[in-house]
Structure 1
């Protein structure tokens, strides 16, 4: 079955270019030229993944993302202005899974989408009864859910991937390069703070323990500490 992508972008030329490229790569593409139309299509569950521009003519992409996150866990990749670190940070705080700067390389966009969808499909093939417990957390790969004290955590698709990798290696250091590859499906690039932002969000959602459950091992990576 073809993966369905919703492309929300007000630049007609760019949207049509990306839509043609994605279609040629085997995606089924729905398009929206503004935030309200994009939000309606996404909430209608007519797609598997969303590519969302931040700068839209009616409501901003960040507002679309906020409303989406109140209703759905659909994976979202943001299109951001090159070099605009603030938009990226806020985007991750609101619940983005990844970002790609504009003007974007269609080939790179396809690679990001395929990597994210591949990880989701792999987990959905996992047996539901293969649950794993780490202290007060329980991972259920078949449902792609992590529960804390039997309450489902509100995680984005990428936050789920990052946390389940750290839990699988609890007590050991996971190098940033490995975590980026295993959880996001791509190489860690210089000055890329994507992983750092996901870790920051996870610490908040886990309860801001002191010391934090996800410990930074300077110069190496991160380690998950199972609380006693």
Structure 2
């Protein structure tokens, strides 16, 4: 069986070697690049399943690198940076990143996020149809620590599990199209149409919309949405980190923008302040 391929794009030699080591021990065949242009070429050449991208690089930065990668690949894309401002998170997710990790981080954290991504589908018919691959999304709360090549690594191999159905949605109706106020979502084909026109969503936006439409008028908390994006089943038992809450808010804001919805006059998604979101009546 062929090894899964990963590409690491990072200008810092120590961090680049650490990321390569973590992914290699996870069972990946790893290719590395010290700049964005070379990294994009590696993605085009090797068709990886996972790509990590540093934001601060010489030449084209990580945001532009992510945009170029997204035009040719639906690999799981994790942006890694020392910048943790909200605007950077927003830009990172808007460029197509599946997750966003702020330095310093622990190798164990990166493994947890990638393992969660690989439990979920990589395909989304409305995104990058010319690529014809598969994709998934973010996960696992941050656990800051200073990364060094001597950091303790988990040596259990990563395994790509069969993707579970979306938590909190009945498996029996998992493939049933969901419709609400001119909006139609087909889970099996992973297609969203508004008044008959297809809407291009990221994997995370699609899954959030699917969960909200499938939950009827029940309120879905940010904690539940974060757990769903991590591939968890049942009620989550972890706390909602600031990173998770911010990511959910950004995903919902992007989703509303693509649907042309105003938060003050919602047509499909209502905000329940202090809790989460629900489908409109």
- What's the TM-score, normalizing by structure 1? 0.85
> Aligned residue for 1:79?
80
Report the structure, 1 or 2, having the larger strand content: 1
For residues 78 and 173 of structure 1, what CA distance do their matches in structure 2 show? 30
State how 1:49-68 maps to structure 2 within 5 Å: 49-68=50-69
Aligned pair count? 224
State how 1:174-189 maps to structure 2 within 5 Å: 174-185=220-231, 187=238, 188-189=240-241
For residues 28 and 138 of structure 1, what CA distance do their matches in structure 2 show? 39
**Counterpart check, 1:152 vs 2:194:** no
**1:94: Cα distance to partner?**
2.5
**Counterpart check, 1:199 vs 2:252:** yes
Aligned match for 2:276, one of 206, 221, 228? 221
Aligned match for 2:209, one of 163, 172, 182? 163
**Counterpart check, 1:130 vs 2:185:** no
Question: Unaligned 5+ residue runs, structure 2?
Answer: 122-161, 166-170, 233-237
Does structure 2 retain, via aligned residues, the 8 Å contact 1:8–1:51? yes
For residues 153 and 72 of structure 1, what CA distance do their matches in structure 2 show? 19
Residue 32 to residue 224, structure 1, CA distance change in 2 (3 Å): farther
State how 1:32-111 maps to structure 2 within 5 Å: 32-44=33-45, 46-111=47-112
Q: Which moved more, 1:143-152 or 1:155-164?
A: 143-152
For residues 141 and 48 of structure 1, what CA distance do their matches in structure 2 show? 22
For residues 56 and 64 of structure 1, what CA distance do their matches in structure 2 show? 10
Does structure 2 retain, via aligned residues, the 8 Å contact 1:80–1:88? no
Aligned match for 1:141, one of 182, 187, 201? 187
User: How big is the alpha-carbon RMSD for the aligned residues of Structure 1 and Structure 2?
Assistant: 2.7
Residue 86 to residue 163, structure 1, CA distance change in 2 (3 Å): same
Does structure 2 retain, via aligned residues, the 8 Å contact 1:158–1:184? no
Aligned match for 2:265, one of 200, 203, 211? 211
Does structure 2 retain, via aligned residues, the 8 Å contact 1:76–1:97? yes
Rg larger in structure: 2
For residues 153 and 74 of structure 1, what CA distance do their matches in structure 2 show? 20
For residues 65 and 14 of structure 1, what CA distance do their matches in structure 2 show? 18
For residues 17 and 40 of structure 1, what CA distance do their matches in structure 2 show? 21
Report the structure, 1 or 2, having the larger helix content: 1
- What's the TM-score, normalizing by structure 2? 0.70
Question: Unaligned 5+ residue runs, structure 1?
Answer: none
**1:45: Cα distance to partner?**
6.2
